[in-house]
């Protein structure tokens, strides 16, 4: 676990409280937890373009607690990285509460992943299988609440929906009664991947709850985000792939502007982002603005210097456009 400025990133000093943001009546724009991608450098970029709240990639709580190496590789933050939610995969209340206590000084809250549909997660008892284990979710939330002394430290969950939405409403009500701060709802079932998102189900859940609800699923532009916000009546929207393709999305850009690409270069180099991550993000960002032949050339580049030369040659060095 690394922090550039531990003293000034304690949660008591963080100016923006996510819970207050969700009660503001304004659309709260959220960067989703994305394995390998929603790390410090990318969070820094999207915050420059009107993203209000960022999540870390999902971190396995057991590994995080037991391994200093895992802590150093999985969680990096700095003074400007706020408000911040650390998402954990967990199936054990004690291990989760231990993980929450470790990150408490450096984050605004934790989130329990109850929505990951990947086979390895389900096999380990993590992710989406937890939507069928409300008692375990309750125990984990309670344990974190008991172990973390800061009353402003949030504990949220991110879920998928059941085929029968009344089961999801029941799960959410039980979570609310336990003290969950807010719930993010991905509007698909565990089995669904690319099917249309069930925004009506998210609306039903929102209408059944008193705590904030965040809508998630297939949002690719600010206009779509605002539309989903109005359709569902939720308190915020969370975006994953839409932000990967266009980190400036929440600022109203329809595609990644050149300034955002150069901002990424500057941030990534300053923070020492590994080359593969640096390059992969650029591949996503430039998807819409490059031809098939240009993609073939750019995707084959194998060094930072080659990428910088390519960008300068093709897009110039004017970083204001």
Other Cβ atoms within 10 Å of 151 Cβ, number:
6
| Whether the Cβ atoms of residue 92 and residue 62 lie closer than 8 Å to each other | yes
Cβ neighbours of 204 (radius 10 Å): 18
Averaged in consecutive runs of 10 residues, what is the pLDDT profile of the chain (321 residues)?
44 70 96 96 98 98 94 94 98 97 97 95 95 96 95 97 97 96 97 93 98 97 98 98 98 96 97 97 94 95 96 74 45
Do the annotations mark residue 195 as ligand-binding?
A: no
Whether residue 177 is annotated as binding a ligand: the answer is: no
Domain ranges for the chain: 18-251, 258-315
**pLDDT at res. 316:** 79
Distance, CA of 84 to CA of 29 (rounded, Å) = 13
User: Does 34 carry a binding-site annotation?
Assistant: yes
Residues known to be catalytic: 116
Task: Note the pLDDT of residue 255.
Answer: 94
Give the 3-state secondary structure of residue 88.
strand
Q: Residue 315's pLDDT is what? A: 87
Three-class HEC string of 240-305: CHHHHHCCCHHHCCCCCCHHHHHHHHHHHHHHCCCHHHHHHHHHHHCHHHCCHHHHHHHHCCCCHH
Question: Element (H or E) spanning 306, and its range?
Answer: helix 304-315
Right CATH for 18-251 from 3.20.20.70, 3.40.50.970, 3.40.50.300, 3.40.50.150: 3.20.20.70
Residue 107: predicted pLDDT: 97
């Amino acid at each position: 676990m690394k922090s550039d400025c531990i003293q000034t990133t304690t949660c008591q000093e963080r100016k923006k409280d996510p819970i207050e943001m969700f009660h503001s009546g304004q659309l709260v724009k959220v960067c989703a937890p994305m394995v390998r991608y929603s790390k410090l450098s990318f969070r820094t970029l999207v915050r420059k373009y009107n993203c209000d709240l960022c999540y870390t990639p999902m971190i396995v709580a057991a590994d995080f607690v037991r391994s200093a190496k895992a802590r150093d590789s999985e969680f990096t933050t700095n003074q400007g990285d706020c408000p911040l939610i650390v998402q954990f995969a967990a199936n054990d209340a004690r291990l989760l509460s231990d993980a929450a206590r470790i990150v408490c000084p450096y984050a605004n809250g934790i989130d329990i992943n109850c929505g990951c549909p990947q086979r390895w997660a389900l096999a380990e008892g993590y992710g989406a299988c937890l939507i069928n284990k409300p008692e375990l979710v309750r125990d984990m939330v309670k344990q974190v609440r008991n172990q973390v002394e800061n009353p402003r430290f949030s504990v949220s969950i991110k879920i998928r929906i059941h085929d029968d939405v009344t089961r999801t409403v029941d799960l959410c009500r039980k979570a609310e009664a336990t003290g969950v701060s807010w719930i993010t709802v991905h509007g698909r079932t565990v089995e669904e991947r690319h099917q249309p998102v069930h925004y009506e189900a998210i609306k039903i859940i929102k209408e059944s709850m008193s705590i904030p609800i965040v809508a998630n699923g297939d949002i690719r532009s600010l206009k779509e985000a605002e539309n989903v916000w109005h359709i569902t009546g939720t308190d915020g929207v969370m975006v994953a792939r839409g932000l990967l393709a266009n980190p400036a999305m929440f600022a109203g850009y329809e595609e990644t502007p050149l300034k955002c690409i150069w901002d990424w270069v500057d941030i990534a180099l300053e923070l020492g982002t590994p080359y593969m991550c640096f390059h992969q993000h650029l591949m996503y960002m430039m998807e819409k603005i490059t031809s098939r032949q240009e993609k073939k050339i750019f995707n084959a580049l194998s060094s930072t210097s080659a990428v910088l030369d390519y960008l300068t040659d093709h897009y110039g060095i004017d970083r204001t456009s």
